[in-house]
Structure 1
């Protein structure tokens, strides 16, 4: 078999796409809970699943199928010695670190638009206590934000990508 790193990269990408679990988990005092990945989103508000998350997941499932088919096809082609590069699943886990930053923007600015002064921490990993004062009342919530095991598998595939590129580049020069 040729291009072992590339085959491993595309195989791991295919595996990550079929795992129906989220990459990152957020919760604001249990009021709002978000579990998401590039292939699905689950938003619960007061324990009730929002229809919007089902609509988004429907479209993301099409993307999941696309990535799965591409990764399997490329895995077969690179095992035969062809040079095939698909970097999307390299960039997703790397840029997913920005997900908590996007949540920061969401939770810092939307409440302020509604007149609720909240100081949401820039980056939460684990559990943080969030407090705010509104009309003389103190509001406290525990915010949880952490990656799941599936995210770490996706990040492992991202580490294989540069090795795959080097391998394919060396094979092209022979």
Structure 2
């Protein structure tokens, strides 16, 4: 499925002033070391997610930082429409309690999303899986308040966004979390 000229026009008009970077597949392969298994972070309805790193050598004006790259799985639950919607909405919305979309790639059949990397992982991992230290009740309360503020921001936006995939695996924890 290649993106039609009309879709490309819609995307470019929708993203005016968004400061999103447009990546190539080659740039994101290099950033993730060829989507190396060691960089695999997890998988959702969109497809697999890999850790990578970018800097201004990849894109002028881009600060050196770790990233999370979502690859679209054409056999997955989400399609081009959902990808486009995520690019447009997260490309326009900025809030301290929403993960930052840094950029995207739409090249031939490939659809990728590039986010800021959250080193603390998801709330789900802290509550149920990978991270054994128990979260204190004050930390849990801070996470709940932060998640509620993010939702309130989306609901109170000029064009309200109803986020329908609110769950522990989609609550990513900021590195400064206690």
TM bin, normalised by shorter chain, reads: under 0.3
The TM-score, its normalising length taken from structure 1, stands at: 0.27
Q: More helix by proportion, 1 or 2?
A: 1
Bigger relative contact order (CA 8 A; separation at least 6): 1
The TM-score, its normalising length taken from structure 2, stands at: 0.27
Higher gyration radius (CA): 1
